[in-house]
Amino acid sequence: MTVLGLEARMKKALGAFAFILVSPVLFAQSAAKSSLETSEWPNYGNDPGGMRYSPLAQINNENVTRLQVAWTFHTGDISDGKGDRRRSGFESTPIMADGTLYLTTPFNRIIALDPATGKQRWAFDPKIDQAWQSGDGLINRGVATWLDKDEKMQADTPCRRRIFEATIDARLVAIDAETGKACADFGSRGEVSLRDVQGFRAGWYHMTSPPAVVDDVVIVGSAIDDNARNNMPSGMVRAFDVRTGKLHWSWDPIPPNTSDAKWKSGAANAWSIMTVDPERHLVFVPTGSASPDFFGGERPGDNKWANSVVALRAGTGELVWGFQLVHHDLWDYDVASPPLLATVEHDGKKVPVVIIGDKSGFLFVLERDTGKSVFPVEERPVPKSDIPEEAASPTQPFPVAPPPLVKQKYSADDAWGVNAEERALCRKQLEGLRLDGIFTPPSVNGTLSVPGNIGGLNWSGYAFDPNAGVLFANTNNLPFKVRLIPRLDFDARGKRINERISEDGEYGPQFGAPYAMFRRPLFSPKFILASRRHGEHSRRLTWCAARSSGRFRWDRGMRACRRETLERVSKIGAASR
């Protein structure tokens, strides 16, 4: 982790501050105690509603080019994926509370740092099972914090401020923020097992994102591997008492499996980041697809509340409202972006809203109290499935505004290559696929899924400037080839037995379903994106949308953003992934 600071002369005049390069956190620590509260970043998205906005102005368009490295901290937790361990990745977004920076490592250690010097104050090791074979590898995206506001409690009482982490091997741990020691009164010696869910299997079921904290409960979702089988573990969301670890409530997005039912599914889990509204006592939960991702013949209907954003009552888990972004998902279009809570001006009124996007590249703006869309949403017909056992939804929700953030249809004419030969090979790939645009169901012969299963909008999400009423979002433009493979071409262990199935890519057995799946990004033989054209950004594109009108203000990438709105952007912690 590398931190940048201004040159020494300016540092002395302005006090201590830092800019985190590897995370979306922009913060400053002033020498004056009175400004400490405003210079903190106590939640994943700074405020509980996840706007990722900071009013701090020490770093601006006049001094940003003079930032220098102030300190670097190495966690040392790295795995190359050899042996029994999966490959590691650093995905933590630090939080800052009471003048301490808290981050997590790929091995799920929690580390407390002095934000001014980078010196380690303490480290807590939950001693995860590093051989846990999760599909996400060895990662963790951060922690949440809670402060006991009981006036009778002394400031130095152990565990008055707690740090919560959900570990990759399915445990919820509570740590004293001051000392890094486990809070013994929480669960069993500072931890609660999260493994008691229907269909649990080690590795398939795990945790990656930080919990949410509101009204003295800590709320956790889960990450569940894709495409292993139809009846995967339950995607249950649970809330625990912040002091004792006692289970308060649980909520399952979709119906559970029963032995005599035709319904065979699971997941629909909340693997991304949840946000909360303390004043309304609500938690906003983004959910993923029901299992398996690419065949839904054994989970008929819309599969509510998979692929949705739901508002739950924090104290009881009661469903207040839900909005489904994708019906009967066949594309792995999880609602991966965190719900963002903001207040926007619409038709001359200030409206509290939830802004939510998903991997389809659509962005929805919903009234926070009711879940009704601020802008019109139309149910439009979409391509039909040619798989006899499938029952795809005949329509999908399309927001009238704003327009899609990514391209949602390609033709063979969109083929791109560095030379005529490459272009011809890419065109041939496209000509062999079903090219009916977004929401075209997977097929045996091959479908172009556009956008692909990484989005669109992924867990990097967006940031909101409440003063300008402007939203900034990261997007991906990466189409995927998707195929369904008849079960007879796989053996009982999910191994390919048909020599014709030799294409490089990802294979998922989807046990219990009549089809396995195959997917891969659409690249040329020289590993160049086959559909990049007309200057489109194949990996990342930063968008700016005026929320009052639902129109784009600009869409020319980060260079134009920096040139036109650098001062504003410098106050916003836009995600780096």
Task: With beta carbons less than 8 A apart as the criterion, state whether 324 and 445 touch.
Answer: no
Does the annotation count 332 as an active-site position?
Answer: yes
Half-sphere exposure of 577 (CA within 13 A, CB side): 11
Cβ neighbours for 575, distance < 8 A, ≥ 6 positions apart: 24, 52, 93, 459, 460, 461, 462, 463, 474
Residue of 77, 136, 169, 332 with catalytic role: 332
Q: Are strands 395-399 and 470-475 parallel, antiparallel or unpaired?
A: unpaired
The amino acid present at 100, given as its one-letter code, is T
CB 228 within 8 A of CB 509: yes
Query: Cα–Cα distance between 301 and 305 in angstroms, integer?
Result: 11
Token readout for 384 is 């039909």
Contacts of 265 (CB under 8 A, 6+ apart): 230, 231, 232, 254, 257, 290, 291, 298, 299, 303
What is the chain's alpha carbon radius of gyration, rounded to the nearest angstrom?
Answer: 24
As a whole number of angstroms, the distance between CA 432 and CA 575 comes to 36
Order of all β-strands in the sheet with 470-475: 462-465, 470-475, 541-546, 551-554
Contacts of 374 (CB under 8 A, 6+ apart): 344, 346, 351, 353, 365, 366, 367
State the Cα–Cα distance between residues 191 and 184, nearest whole angstrom.
8
Helix, strand, coil % over all residues of the chain, rounded to 5: 10, 35, 60
Give the 3-state DSSP-derived string for 278-339, with helices as H, strands as E and coil as C.
CCCCEEEEECCCECCCCCCCCCCCCCCCCCEEEEEECCCCCEEEEEECCCCCCCCCCCCCCC
Question: How far are the Cα atoms of 309, 319, 326 from residue 305, in angstroms, in the given order?
Answer: 8, 10, 10
Q: State the DSSP string of 196-229.
A: -STT--BTTEE--SPPEEETTEEEE--EE-SSSB
Report, as residue numbers or ranges, the catalytic residues. Answer: 332
